[in-house]
Amino acid sequence: MDTQENESRGTRVLRIGDLAPDFEARSTIGPVKLSAFRERWLILFSHPADFTPVCTTEFVELARQADEFEKRECNLMALSVDSLFSHFAWLRMIRDRFDIEVRFPIVEDPTLVIGRAFGMVAPKDNDSATVRTTFFIDPTGVIRAMTCYPANMGRSIPEMLRMLDALQAIDAKDALAPANWEPGMPLLKSPTQDLDEVFSAGDQTAWFLREAGKGSRK
Ligand code: BEZ
């Protein structure tokens, strides 16, 4: 299915570098407006439904790791098609059963207007559930990375933190993050665009594969 077809079904295709579409909605912390969350990082993520096994494990783990996101000056915001009152009942069940309070907002999207604007609803599905899409939005409101997992597989919270660390480190150092990068490991420099540097570089890879110093989160 091409982009046009997706868009004709009311499902937007967002890409890295796009400004995250703004919205206002009810949430478990009161009304929220996406653009009001600028000036910090924001992870906006959808889940298929409340009171489902995989989603419950994700929310318990995200709530347990809330301090780690806070250290990185990053807000979390979840979204599903379920009603605000379903979200409340689910969070109460999570608190009672797992002894952890989910304090980040969970947005209700009963008409799927937000899910469609963000392409979180699989266009081929007649199902109204959103897939597990995650948007990493920088402090200027720009989408910097996205992941999409199927409904039957939970996200890795350490990988969400690693992606956030990598995005923050490459911004701070104006550098590139190599495969398997973790905080404290070297980042890479962008390749030169100067032929003299290419010819004068010490060895065959030195002009395009160069370390940029160790990267920390900020
Ligand atoms: C879950 O979170 O467990 C789930 C949600 C929708 C479909 C399948 C699994």
- Give the residue, 79 or 8, on which the prediction is more confident: 79
176, 186, 207, 209, 212 from 198: Cα distances, Å: 19, 22, 5, 11, 17
In 65-135, alpha helices (H): 66-71, 84-98, 113-117
Most informative mutation of 52, 60, 149 for ligand 1 (most atoms within 8 A of CB): 52
- Give me ligand 1 centre to Cα 106, in Å: 17
- Give me ligand 1 centre to Cα 123, in Å: 18
What is the reported pLDDT for 207? 87
What's 34's DSSP letter? G
Ligand 1 and 54: CB distance under 6 A: yes
Q: pLDDT tens digits, residue range 105-122?
A: 999 999 999 999 999 986
- Give me ligand 1 centre to Cα 189, in Å: 41
Among 3.40.720.10, 3.30.1360.70, 3.40.50.1000, 3.40.30.10, what is the CATH number of 4-154?
3.40.30.10
Q: Which residues pair with 176 in a beta bridge?
A: 188
Instruction: Give pTM, 2 decimals.
Output: 0.92
What is the reported pLDDT for 119? 93
Ligand 1 and 81: CB distance under 6 A: no
The boundaries of every CATH 3.40.30.10 domain in the chain are 4-154
Kindly indicate the confidence band of residue 1, based on its pLDDT and cuts at 50, 70 and 90: very low
- Whether residue 123 has pLDDT greater than 70: no
Active site residues: 55
- Give the residue, 20 or 210, on which the prediction is more confident: 20
Contacts of 54 (CB under 8 A, 6+ apart): 151, 152, 153, 154
Tell me how many degrees the CA angle 141-145-146 measures, rounded to the nearest 5. Answer: 110
60 sits in which H/E element: helix 53-64
